[in-house]
Amino acid sequence: MTIPTTLKKTLALTATLAVVGLLLAADASAADGKKKKKKKSSTTETTTEEATTQTEPPKEVKQAQAHLAAFRTESAREALEPLANSNDAVVLTTRGRVDAQAKNYDSAVAALKQAADIDAASPAPSLYLGDAFAYSAKTTSANDAWKQAEARAKAMTAANPDSVEGLYFLGAAQQRQKKFADAAATFERARSLAPKDPEIAFESGVTFFYLEKWQQAFDSLSAAIDKSPDFAYAYYYRGMAAGKLDRKDLLFNDLDRFVKMAPEAAEAASAKQILSAFK
């Protein structure tokens, strides 16, 4: 992983950093009651045992998921065009995620509800349905969807304790319900089974961020970026963690990259506010 070039410091930057500190404190406080968008794919790395029982998603879905992580929303939509008439749950889930990233929340909710009904065992549609509800400020509906995702993921891990997919979605559902200690333990287990998976590293890093374990958050998010350099939200959370570690150079560079990659993201406004303090 290439470390961004260190921001040159001048005497004038001293006052600027004081402003940044205030903005970071405000942003961290707001983060306790605010859900991020995620940005996460349902295709986590699997063990050999799981690979024999899981169906590989279509290549178009994999392409769309990669575009979603990089916040290339329209490219993700175009990738799914060959599957426009498909009612497969994985395709509908990905389509719902694309609509949610484009802020077409009604369409996202419809697609994700349909996917959750078609595949009553998968936690993925319910998790992303909760995200869509959260971004459209429907807190009760979001919590209900995340609870359903947690229940489905627990059923998966009860059937197979080494299910990486089950552990990933269990941790993600716990995290969104602010069960941060539980989520951290779940992701630790998932990472032991799939140490190269960037999405598990990302969600683990975000969980550490909410636990205010800044160094662990930074390290885990750096691992996610190292494995997937186009992971837009990893730069946002790593930048915020870097600020808490007094790494203002990485705070600036990571948030600057996030804003350039995802200018329409919900968190872009707070990132731009922090960046403005450097001018």
59 contacts 91 by C-beta, under 8 angstroms: no
Q: How many CA atoms lie within 13 Å of 120's alpha carbon, on the beta-carbon side?
A: 1
Separation between Cα atoms, residue 137 and residue 28, nearest integer Å: 19
Angle at 169 between CA 216 and CA 254, to 5 degrees: 40
Supply the pTM of this predicted model. Answer: 0.81
For 106, residues 6+ apart whose C-beta sits below 8 A from its C-beta are none
**The pair of three-digit structure tokens given for residue 153, joined into one six-digit string:** 């993921």
User: What sign has the CA pseudo-torsion 138, 144, 146, 152?
Assistant: negative
Q: What is the pLDDT of residue 278?
A: 84
Q: What is the pLDDT of residue 55?
A: 64
Q: What is the pLDDT of residue 56?
A: 83
Q: What is the pLDDT of residue 30?
A: 42
Q: What is the pLDDT of residue 34?
A: 41
**The pair of three-digit structure tokens given for residue 162, joined into one six-digit string:** 């080494």
| Backbone phi and psi for residue 264, each to the nearest 5 degrees, phi listed first | -100, 0
**pLDDT under 50 in the chain at which residues?**
1-53
